[in-house]
Copies of this chain bind each other. A is one copy, B any other.
Amino acid sequence: MSNPSTGRVTLPAETGAEDTVVEMFDRWGADYIRDSDGTALSPQILEMGYQIYSTVCIVRADQEYPRANPKSLHQKFLISDAVTATSDSVEIDPLATLCRDKYELDFDNDPKRWWQVIDRTTGEIVPAEKWSVDNESGIVTVTGIAPWHSYTVNVLVYLTWDTTSMYNHIQNNWTTPKVISVDPYHQETWDHLMGFFDSWIDSHKDTDVVRLTTFAYHFCVDSDENAVDKFRDWTGYQDTISIPALEDFEKRFGYALTAEDFVDDGYYNATYRVPTKAYRDWMTFIQDFTVKFGKELVKKVHAAGKKAAIFWGDHWIGAEFYHPSYQEIGIDINIGAVEDGVALRRLSDTPGKLEKEIRLYPYFFPDVFREGGDPAGESISNWAKIRRAMLRMPVDRIGYGGYLSLAAKFPDFVQSVETICNEFREIRDGTDGELSQRLPLKVAVLNCWGNLRAWINYTNPHQKFLDKRPDVTVIAGSNMLECLSGLPVDVTFISFDEIRENGIPADIDVIINDGTGDTAWTGGREWADPAIIGPVREWVANGGGFLGITDPAGHQHNGRYLQLEDVLGVQKETGQSCMVAARKANTPDSHFITDGISEDIQLGAGMSFVYPASSDADVISTSEKGHVQLAANAFANGRGVYLSELPYDLENSRLLLRAIAWAAGKETSLDTLICDNPNTDCAYYAATGKIAVANHTDEPQTTTFSDAKGVQHSVELKPYEMTWVSA
């Protein structure tokens, strides 16, 4: 596995650990050097001859300005806990279960104008003359109201602690002063930041690449009174509020937004919510502003003869990699943190001809690199998933962040990184940076967001019951995207709006609609729109494939929950038809979709409450009590497939591929370049004539496949081994 090549690897360095830097850079073949949160590069390091990345997050780089200008802080709307009135008045402490180190009530802007007291029993706004707020305690007193209704206050707050800084303090025990960040929407803040950035560039003569983390607005993590995460939305626009922005929004869109437009019944427009027009408009507004801001910063970077890199994290909101306007900013390198195949594809599939670099986990921080921690284990299990996806869609560089000196203390981790760096360079050599050959199958994932949320994990109700590690997205339950990330098929993401505007693109073979009902992932009320369901039915009837997972087209409406019952042949019992009998469906002994798949497929927790709705449907798999887990159905010239859940594993990934091929009516497409052993994959690169063969497991595997010419290959693979054969 040793490979003498070097390059394509970015590593962090730190003052005082110069010897370690040299040793690790040599061993891992690194060529770019970077600083990280909490580290700096000594003159000695800067002179080692590597390309230099310097990290700057412009809205939090200068800590003097926000302390002198507290009105420049980021702001947001928060909802209080609901309090039930036991008389005709009620007192509400808006921050009762919110972190007072992170949020400060805004009394600079008139609470009577920007706050809202809402009767959550009726949904009505309580007139402002019925409540008052004590500026000292923050307590809101509401009078003259209906007792035994439940009341909330929407408040405008300043964010007095940067979310990433808070994370580092809590998770990594940092004791440095808390960082606060500013909103460049304020013109004077914008002006200050631009001046500050000019000086910063001046003082970074050695820097080759400016690594921006990122532009203006942090993703949302709210914290409770114990500083524990209370709400998270990695793609949410909750922390983008300022009064000038709200006022400019009204001028541009012709209507004003109120706190409730953001509070959204307490659901905060989370990405899984079927989005409202107001929230979509606000996103557009913030995106436009952020692009303008980013463009100005990048112009300065380029003027100084440096490259601009952007890290897809922290303050990335508004700078959407998949948004068309992103290309206007002029970024040279997209960097993203990557823990699995979905995250790899999220970055590797981003549009634009720019370099793509992934930052691997674990981050060299004491949360993982500690006595009893297993950084090597995390490293290799992540890499197996990332590599599986990378065989389909490569990137240009890999890298790490944190304290290099800490990582160097774990010899098995050092060894695992050496393997990863070499394998990555092998992939680049073997593929010449091209895509692996695709099967003639194009999949469109259909949801409310389309490409804007390409490769964003769907969360579902299981997520609530998962013990989370705050720095990594771990998906509970169904995870179709991870299965999909490593399949040799073309993937696109489309939205309901696109179908309404342009119909379904002609080159799509299979539409996937996957997730919990009444969420953005499946579409909820979108399926009540004849301009959606009609075209989808027509497209399937004309030969398309529709693959629905969990609650596809799920929305209680006009007497059914799964709106595409005709296409899928199944229906879900929601309690409205308990005493309606299921239809007697076919239960074939075998089916193309499960051919070669073991008997004990794991399609979720057991009870889908889905039953046959057509006597023509093929029920291929059910759980114990007869809940449908996998069904296939013909609909005119097209096909529908239902899957209850699809947790990620290698068998389920294979099942997904077979379901896609069957739904598309292209079963024979799997005859070549598919390994017979689902624990392994092969990927053919026409540019080099090479085939990569990889074992994704920690056990030895034997695998066989036919190449494009029909020649059969049989390969033995050690645990996690990847090897190359010539076609």
A465 contacts across to B, CB distance below 8 A: 609, 611, 625-627
**A residues near B, CB below 8 A?**
82, 84, 86, 97, 120-123, 146-150, 224, 226, 228-233, 265-267, 270, 272-273, 459-466, 516-519, 530, 533-535, 537-538, 541, 557-560, 565-566, 573-584, 605-607, 609, 611, 615, 625-627, 636
Contact partner of A461 (CB less than 8 A), chosen from B86, B565, B566, B578, is B578
| Residue of chain B at shortest CB distance from A614 | B81
A84 contacts across to B, CB distance below 8 A: 537, 566
A62 CB → nearest B CB, Å: 31
Given known A146-B530, A146-B534, A581-B229, contact A573–B461 (CB-CB < 8 A): yes
A565 contacts across to B, CB distance below 8 A: 82
Given known A559-B266, A575-B461, contact A148–B231 (CB-CB < 8 A): no
A82 contacts across to B, CB distance below 8 A: 560, 565-566
| Residue of chain B at shortest CB distance from A152 | B559
A625 contacts across to B, CB distance below 8 A: 462, 465-466
Given known A538-B148, A559-B120, contact A578–B611 (CB-CB < 8 A): no
| Residue of chain B at shortest CB distance from A467 | B626
Contact partner of A581 (CB less than 8 A), chosen from B224, B459, B605, is B224
Distance, CA A579 to CA B149, complexed state (A): 26
Contact partner of A121 (CB less than 8 A), chosen from B224, B267, B534, is B534
A580 contacts across to B, CB distance below 8 A: 230-231, 267, 270, 464
A624 CB → nearest B CB, Å: 9
Contact partner of A86 (CB less than 8 A), chosen from B272, B541, B582, is B541
A266 contacts across to B, CB distance below 8 A: 559-560, 577
A86 contacts across to B, CB distance below 8 A: 541, 636
Q: Please give me the 4 A-B residue pairs with the lowest Cβ-Cβ distance, nearest first.
A: A265-B559, A516-B575, A148-B534, A459-B578
A468 CB → nearest B CB, Å: 8
| Complex contact A464–B636 (CB within 8 A) | no
Distance, CA A584 to CA B557, complexed state (A): 36
Some 14 contacts from A to B, beta carbons below 8 A apart, are A84-B566, A97-B583, A120-B559, A121-B534, A122-B558, A123-B557, A123-B558, A147-B534, A148-B534, A270-B580, A459-B578, A459-B579, A461-B575, A466-B625
Distance, CA A541 to CA B149, complexed state (A): 12
A517 contacts across to B, CB distance below 8 A: 575
| Complex contact A578–B463 (CB within 8 A) | yes
A232 contacts across to B, CB distance below 8 A: 579
New contact pairs (10) apart from A231-B580, A605-B606, CB-CB < 8 Å = A82-B560, A86-B636, A120-B558, A122-B530, A230-B581, A267-B559, A460-B578, A464-B573, A516-B575, A518-B575
A635 CB → nearest B CB, Å: 8
Distance, CA A231 to CA B406, complexed state (A): 67
| Complex contact B579–A233 (CB within 8 A) | yes
| Complex contact A581–B460 (CB within 8 A) | no
| Complex contact A558–B265 (CB within 8 A) | yes
| Residue of chain B at shortest CB distance from A536 | B148
Given known A84-B566, A122-B530, contact A574–B265 (CB-CB < 8 A): no
Distance, CA A84 to CA B226, complexed state (A): 55
| Residue of chain B at shortest CB distance from A582 | B464
Given known A86-B541, A120-B558, A558-B121, contact A578–B464 (CB-CB < 8 A): yes
Distance, CA A88 to CA B84, complexed state (A): 54
Distance, CA A577 to CA B460, complexed state (A): 9
